[in-house]
């Protein structure tokens, strides 16, 4: 069975497990786990931000990041198929008490004209205030699409003028970095707060980080504990993330090549496959997924007529070639 349902399916390698076993640990709620602290400082530095906070999931990192810039009763604008809107089970509304309005753009891109037309500054008694705009890079449900740096910079400068904040869901920002060669710090500069995941293509078993100012991270540390996310000798997990940053970033290029190979076999323009995700329009998505599984390739339906497949660390070139031929024949 070749499993292309998600890049979260990767299992820690032997070398990663050895790094976990060696990790120095302490009680992180006391701020005394040196491996966690080092990872937080390292990741904050990579993006040119002051601080970062290790979280069990990307969803928690996103909730903490968005809540640091959007208060209850305020709104965040995002693209209509954004992970924060579709795939976090309403956490931002249920936990933070914010509202969302969305724009819809092909490939999940930044539509500055739409954002400008929706934007609501503080208008007193009548309108919900837009406190932040959220963007997702790469964009998961848009097929791993990269948001061009120029568009992000235009959003940043508009947001500064308008007086609103920018949140970046960078669960797969590493993929955008490898696909385009854009320095991570350039992505960091366009965002006030961000979330990045170690447990997607990077292959760690668990772990994400919220990244932002020292004040925002301090506040998020309190909220994380309130949500039950204060963790103790968690350096064993942070060590897996540090190992992934050392060894699994550049190799994402292989995943991208594998995804392009499969996309091409399915008749897509290979130039439309930016990174490690391929989304194909199929009117019979659920039935197609079932037939693929029978033929030995697991993929997922992400909408009534959308199937998604994701390449990752545990998918070899030979696996990708076999998946391409199986899926093309179906």
Ligand X SMILES: *Cc1c(COP(=O)(O)O)cnc(C)c1O
Residue 57 interacting with ligand X (CB under 6 A): yes
Applying CB under 6 A, which of residues 2, 197, 216, 323 lies at the interface with ligand X? 197
Taking the complex as a whole, the smallest distance from the CB of residue 302 to ligand X amounts, in Å, to 11
Taking the complex as a whole, the smallest distance from the CB of residue 157 to ligand X amounts, in Å, to 24
Preceding peptide of 39 cis, ω within 30°: no
Residue 137 interacting with ligand X (CB under 6 A): no
Toward ligand X, which CB reaches closer, 175 or 180? 175
13 three-class SS: coil
Residue 263 interacting with ligand X (CB under 6 A): no
Residue 169 interacting with ligand X (CB under 6 A): yes
Q: How far apart are CA 275 and CA 227, in angstroms?
A: 33
Residue 311 interacting with ligand X (CB under 6 A): no
Options 57-65, 89-97, 183-191, 216-224: segment touching ligand X (CB under 6 A): 57-65
Phi first, then psi: what are they for 2, rounded to 5°?
Answer: -100, 120
Q: 46 is written with which tokens?
A: 């990579």
Alpha helical stretches, state H, the chain: 14-22, 34-46, 58-67, 83-86, 91, 112-118, 149-162, 173-180, 184-189, 214-226, 235-247, 252-265, 285-294, 317-329
Preceding peptide of 161 cis, ω within 30°: no
Q: Which of 193, 244, 234, 299 is nearest to 54 (CA)?
A: 234
Toward ligand X, which CB reaches closer, 16 or 277? 277
Q: 96 is written with which tokens?
A: 């933070």
Taking the complex as a whole, the smallest distance from the CB of residue 136 to ligand X amounts, in Å, to 5
Q: Mark residues 13-52: x for contact with ligand X by CB under 6 A, - for none.
A: ----------------------------------------
130 within 8 A of 158, measured Cβ to Cβ: no
Applying CB under 6 A, which of residues 10, 208, 276, 311 lies at the interface with ligand X? 208
Chain centroid to CA 275: 13
Position of minimal CB gap to ligand X: 58
Toward ligand X, which CB reaches closer, 34 or 148? 148
Angle between helices 34-46 and 235-247 (to 10 degrees): 40
4 within 8 A of 261, measured Cβ to Cβ: no
Q: How far apart are CA 34 and CA 149, in angstroms?
A: 34
Residue 255 interacting with ligand X (CB under 6 A): no
Residue 134 interacting with ligand X (CB under 6 A): no
Applying CB under 6 A, which of residues 59, 130, 180, 276 lies at the interface with ligand X? 59
Q: Judged by CB under 6 A, how many residues of this single chain contact ligand X? A: 12
Applying CB under 6 A, which of residues 19, 78, 152, 171 lies at the interface with ligand X? 171
Residue 83 interacting with ligand X (CB under 6 A): yes
Taking the complex as a whole, the smallest distance from the CB of residue 83 to ligand X amounts, in Å, to 4
Toward ligand X, which CB reaches closer, 265 or 274? 274
Q: How many helices, marked H, and strands, marked E, lie in the chain? A: 14, 12
User: At 176, which helix (H) or strand (E)?
Assistant: helix 173-180
Residue 74 interacting with ligand X (CB under 6 A): no
Q: How far apart are CA 202 and CA 248, in angstroms?
A: 5
Toward ligand X, which CB reaches closer, 195 or 324? 195
Q: Which of 303, 258, 251 is nearest to 282 (CA)?
A: 303
Taking the complex as a whole, the smallest distance from the CB of residue 7 to ligand X amounts, in Å, to 9
Residue 274 interacting with ligand X (CB under 6 A): no
148 three-class SS: coil
Given the rule CB under 6 A, which residues bind ligand X?
57-59, 62, 83, 136, 140, 169, 171, 197, 200, 208
């Amino acid at each position: 069975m070749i499993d292309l349902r998600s890049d979260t399916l990767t299992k820690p390698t032997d070398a990663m497990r050895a790094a976990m076993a060696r990790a120095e640990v302490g009680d992180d709620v006391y701020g005394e786990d040196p491996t966690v602290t080092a990872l937080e400082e390292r990741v904050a530095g990579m993006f040119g931000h002051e601080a970062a906070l290790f979280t069990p999931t990307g969803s928690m990192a996103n909730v903490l990041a968005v809540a640091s810039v959007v208060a209850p009763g305020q709104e965040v604008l995002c693209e209509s198929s954004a992970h924060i809107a579709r795939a976090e089970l309403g956490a931002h509304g249920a936990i933070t008490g914010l509202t969302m309005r969305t724009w819809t753009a092909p490939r999940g891109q930044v539509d500055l004209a739409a954002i400008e037309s929706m934007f609501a500054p503080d208008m007193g008694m009548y309108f919900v205030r837009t406190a932040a705009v959220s963007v997702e890079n790469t964009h998961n449900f848009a097929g791993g699409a990269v948001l061009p740096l120029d568009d992000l910079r235009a959003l940043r400068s508009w947001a500064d003028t308008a007086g609103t904040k920018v949140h970046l869901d960078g669960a797969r920002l590493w993929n955008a970095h490898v696909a385009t060669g854009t320095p991570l710090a350039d992505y960091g500069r366009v965002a006030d707060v961000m979330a990045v995941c170690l447990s997607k293509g990077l292959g760690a078993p668990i772990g994400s980080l919220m990244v932002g100012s020292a004040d925002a991270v301090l506040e998020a540390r309190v909220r994380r504990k309130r949500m039950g996310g204060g963790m103790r000798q968690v350096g064993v997990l942070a060590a897996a993330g540090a190992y992934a940053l050392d060894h699994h970033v550049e190799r994402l290029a292989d995943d991208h090549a594998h995804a392009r190979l499969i996309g091409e076999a399915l008749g897509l323009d290979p130039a439309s496959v930016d990174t490690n995700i391929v989304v194909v329009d199929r009117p019979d998505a659920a039935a197609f997924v079932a037939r693929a599984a029978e033929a030995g390739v697991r993929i997922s339906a992400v909408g009534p007529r959308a199937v998604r497949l994701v390449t990752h660390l545990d998918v070899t070139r030979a696996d990708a070639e076999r998946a391409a031929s199986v899926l093309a024949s179906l």
